[in-house]
Structure formats: C-alpha cells, structure tokens
Structure 1
Amino acid sequence: MKNRDKMENAYAAAHIRALTLLEDLHETVEDMPAPGNEEFPIDWGHVGSLNHLCEQLAELKKHFASDED
C-alpha cells in the first residue's frame, strides 16, 4: 500500500470518528434538561456546564476556521 493510500485511509477513519463524536455530543446536548421541564428542572450547574461546552465548541470552531485561511 502506498503512503498516499495510507494517508487517505487514516483521514477517512478520522473523519468518520469526528462525525460520530459530533453526533454523540449532539445527542448529549439534546438529552440535557430543557427549560420549563418541571420533572427535570435546570439549575446553575446545568447553565455553567452548557456555557463551558459552548466556549469549548467556539474554540474548536475558531481553530478549524483558522486552518482554512
């Protein structure tokens, strides 16, 4: 197998893994308590966790946006 083929295969595997992780993260966020849900009320810990996640996602987005320049 040529080096180019190995690189393409490694990239394809990483691409699939990234999409899977994003899907898992999306499901995790969807499963978080929603505002107004009396059965699972939100608290400040939820707010902090979600804001922390948003900061990390913004940093990732910034990193990958700079790679496109």
Structure 2
Amino acid sequence: MTNRDKIEDAYATAHIRALTLLEDLHETVEDLPAPGNDKHPIDWGHVGSLNHLCEQLAELKKHFASDED
C-alpha cells in the first residue's frame, strides 16, 4: 500500500466519521424540546445552550469555508 493509498483511506474514514457525527448531532437537535410543549417546557437554559451550539457550528463552518479558498 502506497502512502497515497494510506492518506486516501484515512481521509475516507475521517469523512465517514464526520458524516456520522453530523447525523448524530442533527438527531440530537431534532429531539430538543419544542416551543409550546407543556410536557417539556423550554427555559432560558435551553435558549442559551442552543445559541452556544449555533455559535460553535458557525465557527466550524467558517473554518471549513476558509479552507476552500
């Protein structure tokens, strides 16, 4: 196996892992309490946590967008 093959295998593995993590994160966000749900009412802690997640995701997006330039 050449070094190029090793690099491509490692990249493919990391790519699959990233997609899996994104899918897991998507499911987690989908499962968060929804506004108007009396059984699981939202509070300011939920708002803060979701805003923090949005900031982190925006930073990741910015990082990867700058790699494409």
TM-score bracket for the superposition, by shorter chain length: over 0.9
Measured on the aligned residues, the alpha-carbon RMSD in Å equals 0.3
TM-score under structure 2 length normalisation: 0.99
The aligned residue for residue 62 of structure 2 is: 62
Deviations 1:38-69 (A, max 9, x none): 11000000000000000000000000000000
Unaligned runs of 5+ residues in structure 2 are none
Percent of aligned pairs with the same amino acid: 88
Normalising to structure 1: TM-score of the pair? 0.99
Unaligned runs of 5+ in 1: none
Give the aligned length.
69
Q: 1:14 — aligned with what?
A: 14
Distance 1:37 1:56 in 2: 26
